[in-house]
């Protein structure tokens, strides 16, 4: 059975704010960051590990002031596992600083990058056990005087594990003309540069300005976005940042295709500056957000050259583009504005995301602007605002936290968790971790979500002890129950793509995504 009651009781013990929302939805803050336990989770977001706990990073704070890796129980008990830049490494930080988002590997270990540190102080890739034991897999190259190097520098966004077991990612610098690279790295630390991004100033017809990671589509190719670049120009005149961004496809061998260039329409009504990672829906299409652009005109973005309040879009693997929602077309932006993070698709088939600004009543904690929202949107574009952060009706003084910039995560207990970059009960105003229940049921998720017959797969869940059956689209699989929160299973011969199902003494649990069996 679902453990909502025990989660709610644990939440109440550390509760900063709770509000009952429409349709039996419940929102609560489960942790307030302090300078001691780090602050500003920024774009790290949260992932679920094999022990059922949530893991994340902060870019600042901690014992050494340069960020940390933490774990948190679903009820909100937080433990700092690692503090970057230990004493004695000031000015060098060989073990790195300012970590990015984390990724759970198929071996149960956790992988991530740091934007700085390492031998050349331009970042590294690390591996960590759920208990916190850290191993550096590789460090990125130092920059040449012209910004060029062989392997890239300053990695950004989360790594994604490909079906071949290697991890793929991007860097913001290095490579041809210093515009970044796409790379692959094995579990053993072997590094491969698979594509160098190049965007010649003022004639920018390739992706540029990488700020988030890749995802692997069900076709085996990788997909991503760039905040700038593409061929859609805005603002008039020459100058950096005059191109509205792009969506691109990258083959595992490094061949790149630009699928769509934002600001292709006048006044960037098709969106501008996608900064969040894409998500592939169950329908095979990709979904994402843009921070600016669109038809909304009720917001202020701080620059006369930037128009629009952001959008949600859909794009097919072939590049057919559709705008699903334009934020802030109503006075006061009750639906939010400026979505910085990407979306996730939940077990109800709907997409969930956040906006950095907009929502309920203005708050002095957000420079007289509202502090963001949590929203639900269907694949056809029907949007519902679930929570307005820092709304005075929700809590005074932004106790709820504000300014979310990382994607939500749906835990296998059915509930959502996320982070904010500021706010909370602490006087340091360092951000929060929040919990949102919308009444969705428990499920299981596989790591990875695709592979060959004979491959071993992690299955995450809750109350898995005593499981009697695991099937891949109806085909029985051999499996081992490792704990109450995860199972290892072997993809059976003859299995076809479809849902993974686990039968336990208490419930029948279905995977949130279909598992794709590769030919």
Q: How far apart, in whole angstroms, are the C-alpha atoms of residue 302 and residue 281?
A: 33
Label residue 225 left, alpha or beta by phi (over 0 means left) and psi (-120 to 50 means alpha). beta
At residue 240, the pLDDT reads 43
pLDDT exceeds cutoff 80 at 110: yes
- Calculate the alpha carbon distances from 305 to 239, 245, 283, 478, 518 in Å: 12, 15, 36, 59, 47
At residue 362, the pLDDT reads 55
pLDDT exceeds cutoff 50 at 7: no
Residue 18: how many other CB atoms lie within 10 Å: 16
> How big, in percent rounded to 5, are the helix, strand and coil portions of the chain?
5, 40, 55
What confidence category does residue 486 fall into, taking pLDDT thresholds of 50, 70 and 90? very high
Question: Per-residue pLDDT averaged across 296-304, rounded?
Answer: 73
Question: Per-residue pLDDT averaged across 350-368, rounded?
Answer: 75
Q: How far apart, in whole angstroms, are the C-alpha atoms of residue 192 and residue 166?
A: 10
At residue 384, the pLDDT reads 96
User: What percentage of residues in the chain have a pLDDT greater than 70?
Assistant: 79
Tracing tokens 């979500």 back to the chain, one arrives at 449
At residue 150, the pLDDT reads 65
Question: Per-residue pLDDT averaged across 349-375, rounded?
Answer: 78
At residue 38, the pLDDT reads 61
Report the top-level CATH class of 445-517: mainly beta
Question: Per-residue pLDDT averaged across 26-45, rounded?
Answer: 76
At residue 330, the pLDDT reads 84
What confidence category does residue 394 fall into, taking pLDDT thresholds of 50, 70 and 90? very low
What ranges do the domains of the chain cover?
A: 445-517
Average pLDDT, the chain: 84
pLDDT exceeds cutoff 70 at 11: no
What confidence category does residue 12 fall into, taking pLDDT thresholds of 50, 70 and 90? very low
Q: Are 187 and 110 in contact (CB under 8 A)?
A: no
Contacts of 341 (CB under 8 A, 6+ apart): 43, 45, 275, 276, 289, 353, 354, 404, 405, 406, 407, 408
User: What percentage of residues in the chain have a pLDDT greater than 90?
Assistant: 56
**What confidence tens digit (pLDDT) does each residue in 223-270 have?**
999 988 777 766 543 334 467 889 999 999 999 999 999 999 988 999
pLDDT exceeds cutoff 90 at 345: yes
Higher pLDDT among residues 187 and 289, named by residue: 289
Q: How far apart, in whole angstroms, are the C-alpha atoms of residue 357 and residue 512?
A: 29
Question: Per-residue pLDDT averaged across 482-503, rounded?
Answer: 97
Angle 136-142-145 (CA atoms, 0-180°, nearest 5)? 170
When mean pLDDT is compared across 57-71, 113-127, 249-263, 397-411, the lowest value belongs to 57-71
pLDDT exceeds cutoff 60 at 4: no
**What confidence tens digit (pLDDT) does each residue in 323-341 have?**
999 999 888 788 999 999 9
Higher pLDDT among residues 271 and 89, named by residue: 271
Q: Is 236 exposed, middle or buried (0-12, 13-18, 19+ CB in 10 A)?
A: exposed
When mean pLDDT is compared across 3-17, 30-44, 303-317, 452-466, the lowest value belongs to 3-17
pLDDT exceeds cutoff 60 at 145: no
Q: How far apart, in whole angstroms, are the C-alpha atoms of residue 366 and residue 382?
A: 27
At residue 41, the pLDDT reads 65
When mean pLDDT is compared across 13-22, 170-179, 292-301, 365-374, the lowest value belongs to 13-22
pLDDT exceeds cutoff 80 at 272: yes
**3-state SS string for 302-362:** CCCCCCCCCEEEEECCCCCEEEEEECCCCCCCCCCECCCCCCEECCCCCEEEEECEECCCC
Higher pLDDT among residues 97 and 225, named by residue: 225
């Amino acid at each position: 059975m679902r453990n909502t009651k025990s989660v709610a009781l644990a939440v109440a013990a550390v509760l900063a704010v709770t509000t009952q929302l429409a349709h039996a939805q419940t929102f609560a803050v489960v942790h307030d960051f302090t300078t001691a336990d780090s602050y500003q989770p920024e774009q790290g977001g949260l992932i679920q590990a094999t022990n059922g706990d949530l893991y994340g990073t902060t870019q600042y704070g901690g014992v050494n002031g340069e960020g940390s890796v933490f774990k948190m129980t679903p009820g909100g008990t937080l433990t700092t596992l690692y503090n970057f830049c230990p004493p004695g490494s000031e000015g060098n930080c060989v073990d790195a600083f300012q970590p990015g988002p984390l990724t759970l590997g198929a071996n149960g270990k956790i992988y991530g990058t740091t934007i700085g540190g390492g031998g050349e102080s331009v970042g590294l890739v690390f591996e960590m056990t759920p208990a916190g034991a850290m191993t550096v897999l590789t460090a990125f190259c130092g920059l040449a005087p012209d910004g060029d190097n062989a392997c890239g520098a300053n990695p950004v966004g989360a790594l994604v594990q490909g079906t071949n077991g290697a991890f793929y990612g991007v860097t913001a610098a290095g490579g041809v003309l210093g515009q970044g690279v796409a790379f692959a790295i094995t579990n053993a630390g072997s590094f491969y540069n698979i594509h160098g991004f190049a965007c010649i100033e003022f004639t920018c017809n390739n992706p540029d300005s990488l700020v988030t990671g890749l995802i692997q589509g069900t076709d085996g190719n990788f997909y991503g976005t760039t905040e700038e670049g593409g061929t859609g120009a805005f603002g008039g005149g020459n100058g950096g940042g005059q191109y509205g961004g792009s969506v691109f496809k990258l083959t595992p061998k490094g061949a790149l295709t630009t699928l769509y260039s934002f600001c292709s329409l006048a006044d960037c009504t098709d969106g501008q500056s996608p900064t969040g990672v894409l998500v592939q829906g169950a329908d095979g299409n990709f979904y994402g957000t843009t921070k600016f652009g669109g038809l909304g005109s009720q917001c202020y973005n701080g620059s006369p050259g930037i128009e629009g309040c952001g959008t949600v879009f859909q794009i097919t693997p072939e590049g057919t583009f559709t705008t699903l929602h334009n934020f802030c077309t109503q006075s006061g932006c009750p639906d939010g504005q400026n979505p910085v993070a990407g979306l996730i698709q939940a077990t109800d088939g709907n997409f969930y995301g956040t906006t950095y600004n907009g929502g309920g009543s203005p708050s002095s904690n957000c420079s007289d602007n509202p502090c963001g929202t949590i929203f639900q949107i269907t694949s056809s574009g029907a949007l519902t605002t679930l929570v307005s952060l820092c709304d005075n009706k929700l809590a005074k003084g932004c106790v709820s936290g504000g300014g979310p910039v990382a994607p939500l995560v749906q835990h296998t207990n059915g509930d959502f968790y996320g982070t904010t970059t500021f706010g909370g009960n602490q006087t340091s105003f360092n951000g929060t971790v929040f919990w949102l229940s919308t009444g969705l049921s428990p499920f299981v998720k596989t790591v990875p979500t695709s592979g060959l017959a004979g491959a071993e797969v992690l299955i995450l869940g809750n109350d898995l002890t005593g499981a009697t059956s695991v099937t891949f689209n109806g085909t029985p699989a051999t499996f081992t129950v490792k704990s109450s929160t995860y199972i290892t299973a072997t993809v059976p011969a003859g299995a076809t793509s479809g849902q993974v199902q686990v039968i336990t003494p208490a419930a029948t649990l279905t995977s949130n995504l279909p598992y794709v069996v590769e030919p």
